[in-house]
Amino acid sequence: MLTLTCPYCGNAAEETELAPGGEAHLKRFGPGSSDEQFEDYLFARKNPKGVHFERWRHAYGCGKWFLAARDTVTLEVFGTYKAQTPNPTPEIVAAVQAKRPNWTPDWTSTPATTTSAESLTE
């Protein structure tokens, strides 16, 4: 059973205090998107063997959704980070690559800069 540290309250919470939320960093496609885009968004999941980014909610704690970078095979946790980012942060990428040198990001855009909500959660 996993233990993950919530990046909002800083508490290490065990899995029973958390609610899982599936793959992280999905880009929402709404009205106006193509069938293919919408299908990808709603149904296509990476389900990788190895490095994975996923959503968790500190449901029995501070109530915040956060993201975790984890190895789906060994359950090694590379880091947890706040949900208000479209892609894993440079720190998380570095933490993953420190342990998995052969892993490379599969996204191209750079993470957005600090958002307005960020200040609420510092």
Cβ atoms of 17 and 60 closer than 8 Å: yes
Angle at 115 between CA 112 and CA 121, to 5 degrees: 125
Q: x/- string (CB under 8 A) for another protein, residues 33-72?
A: x-x--x---x------------x-x-xxxxxxx-----x-
Name the burial class of residue 97, with classes exposed (0-12), middle (13-18) and buried (19+) by CB atoms within 10 angstroms of its CB.
middle
| Site for another protein contains 21 (CB under 8 A) | yes
Binding site residues, another protein, CB under 8 A: 1-3, 8-11, 13-14, 16-17, 19, 21, 28-33, 35, 38, 42, 55, 57, 59-65, 71, 74-77, 83-84, 99, 115-117, 119-122
